Amino acid sequence: MNKFDLKNKVALVTGGAQGFGLAIVERLLQSEAEVIIWDNDEKVLSNLKLNGKVHKFLVDVTDFDNVQKSTKETFSMVDKIDILINNAGIAGPSHKTWEYPIEDWQKVIDIDLNGVFYCCKNIVPHMIENNYGRIVNIASIAGKEGNPNAMPYSAAKAGVIALTKSLGKELADKNIAVNCVTPAAAKTRIFDQISEEHINYMLSKIPRNRFVRVEELASMVAWMVSDENSFTTGAVFDLSGGRATY
């Protein structure tokens, strides 16, 4: 395993208590970063045991006021945030577009897209002040290709890709890199939210014939948030096992 030097760097990971987020947290800690976890699962968060300098906050990224308040609380404990990983997300249930319940559409959009915007809106000004930042948004291959029976998720992740490109251009004159990853599905708790039929559909589309491992995503992210990533911004890094066609 390659080790990136993240000494003296402070990283904030949303949805960092499980799944992709936890794997990213563990990899950043191995690289000696100080890590802040924002998660809305109080039980999982409180039981989380990690080696390294970690701060845990119960945060609902779908609530702008809560994100704003949590940002202030976070900065009462650290004096900077160098790295922001917008990872928190849900899949939502599997339905045809015309049958999709309005309340479920809203939940998916709120956490998967609005949450990314709320976090960027609050954290980016601090990065601008320091003229340093590495932002990685966890999108999905669904945002490129549009999965059937997962319209809100696909639409939200497509929005995250576009948000990444827009923000990357806005910050290109500063030492702030904004990129996103479009992974294929991984066997995490998010599978509990979707049907077996949809899981099988996603697997059938991956030429490598397996789901991505959370450690593989964390490895890519570790480079993206390091000083070695000094040029690319507004980019989409594919991690789809060969599924992506563009």
Q: Max alpha carbon distance in the chain (Å)?
A: 50
CA gap 160, 137 in Å, rounded: 7
Mean confidence (pLDDT) of the chain: 93
Q: Which CATH number fits domain 10-239: 3.10.250.10, 3.40.50.720, 3.10.20.30, 3.40.47.10?
A: 3.40.50.720
Q: Radius of gyration over alpha carbons of the chain, in Å? A: 17
Would you please indicate which residues are annotated as catalytic (active-site) residues? 153
Nearest to 184 by CA among 164, 199, 166: 199
Ranges under pLDDT 50 in the chain: none
> Given this model, what pLDDT does residue 190 score?
62
> Given this model, what pLDDT does residue 78 score?
97
CA gap 53, 225 in Å, rounded: 18
Q: Would you list the domain boundaries of the chain?
A: 10-239
Structure token digits, residue 181: 């990853």
pLDDT digits (tens, 9 = 90+) for 52-68: 999 999 999 999 999 99
Coil, strand or helix at 135:
strand
> Given this model, what pLDDT does residue 21 score?
96
Element (H, E) at 168: helix 151-170
pTM above the 0.75 mark?
Answer: yes
